[in-house]
Structure 1
Amino acid sequence: MRGITFEIPNAYGHYLSEILDGVKGLTWKIGDGESYVIENETLGVPLFPSACIVEEDVLLKEVSKKDYYLIFADLKGFPEKSDVREITTYKEFVESECQFVLLVIDSSYVTIYSKDQSTIKHLFSKAVEAGYKKIEYITDENDERTTLIAF
């Protein structure tokens, strides 16, 4: 198993907080994306500054405090004190220190890659419990992605 895919509701919420609950010990590289904090019932400031590196506690705080709307999101988790760099393909992911990739495309389509099989199984179970749709494992046989970037 390489990871999982599923669909989240196309709505405001705290989906990253829900998905990342239990994923620990990583420094996060936030790639280009488009996600906004909800202010006065409309899109406000960007959820993340473009292309930055944040510590786990900072990321979890940001994705937990206010509702936001995800359009595109590109998060890559690396062990603390490792070589944090851009990962654009599955081969680069495998050959790097990167442990976790989370992509959100078109507000609903979530793709997660993890080097830890127990994390994949845990996230699959959480996705089922949350009522997300079209939950599937990503395997060597069914992986159709050519890049690991949101856009």
Structure 2
Amino acid sequence: MRKISFIIPNAWGQYLYQILFPIKDLVDGTWAVGCDVDEPYLQAWHNINGEMVDLFASGCYSNQEFFSLLGSRVYYIVSGKFSLTSPCKNRRNGLNPPCIEILVTDSVYVDVYAADEKMLFTLYDNAINQGFENIELDG
């Protein structure tokens, strides 16, 4: 998988939605929401009546549920790992690796991994259009 890296504002917003919205109708599957070995805590909140509440109540979401949640709330993400797996397994080895994976660390650093180059370049162009900083394409 190749990756793009960039920096998002350290602020409340809908940044995960802004990062991913160009592909929301191009992908399908299940989003796993959690953490990475190097970043052990999922930290993402939204504000309900002045109280900070976990943004993600579940560890898995359908594509529609995931984008609906991200597009309907203002939130703050400190860290997390968000992986989309396709509903179809690899016929050769029976595995189902993520087709997209997003890592957010320290509130601002974002790495997006994608198996599909067209999808990766769509997200790369979107990062530029959104005005995110320090955009790099690796791999």
- TM-score, scaled to structure 2: 0.82
Task: Tell me the CA shift for residue 39 of structure 1.
Answer: 3.3
**Counterpart contact for 2:45–2:55, Cα < 8 Å:** yes
Task: Tell me the CA shift for residue 43 of structure 1.
Answer: 5.7
Q: Secondary structure at the match of 1:63?
A: helix
Task: Tell me the CA shift for residue 81 of structure 1.
Answer: 5.2
In the alignment, structure 1 segments of 5+ residues that lack a partner are 84-94, 140-151
Are 1:67 and 2:74 matched, yes or no? yes
What do residues 84-104 of structure 1 show as CA deviations (whole Å, max 9, x unaligned)? xxxxxxxxxxx7431010010
Task: Tell me the CA shift for residue 119 of structure 1.
Answer: 0.9
Task: Tell me the CA shift for residue 82 of structure 1.
Answer: 4.5
Please identify, of 23-32 and 121-130, the stretch whose mean Cα deviation from structure 2 is larger: 23-32
Are 1:38 and 2:47 matched, yes or no? yes
Instruction: Provide the aligned C-alpha RMSD in A.
Output: 1.9
- In the aligned structure 1, how far is the partner of 2:107 from the partner of 2:30? 24
Alignment of 1:1-151 (within 5 A): 2-23=2-23, 24-32=27-35, 33-40=42-49, 44-49=52-57, 52-80=59-87, 82=89, 96-139=96-139
Task: Tell me the CA shift for residue 60 of structure 1.
Answer: 0.6
Task: Tell me the CA shift for residue 80 of structure 1.
Answer: 2.0
Instruction: Give the residue type in structure 1 aligned to 2:57.
Output: P
- In the aligned structure 2, how far is the partner of 1:105 from the partner of 1:133? 15
Instruction: Quote the residue 2:39 is aligned against.
Output: none
% same residue: 29
Q: Secondary structure at the match of 2:97?
A: coil
What do residues 84-133 of structure 1 show as CA deviations (whole Å, max 9, x unaligned)? xxxxxxxxxxx743101001001000001000001111111101111000
CA gap 1:138/1:43 in 2 versus in 1, 3 angstroms: farther
Q: Secondary structure at the match of 2:22?
A: coil
Instruction: Give the residue type in structure 2 aligned to 1:62.
Output: L
- In the aligned structure 2, how far is the partner of 1:43 from the partner of 1:26? 32
In the alignment, structure 2 segments of 5+ residues that lack a partner are 36-41
- In the aligned structure 2, how far is the partner of 1:27 from the partner of 1:109? 24
- In the aligned structure 2, how far is the partner of 1:107 from the partner of 1:15? 10
- In the aligned structure 2, how far is the partner of 1:67 from the partner of 1:132? 18
- In the aligned structure 2, how far is the partner of 1:128 from the partner of 1:22? 13
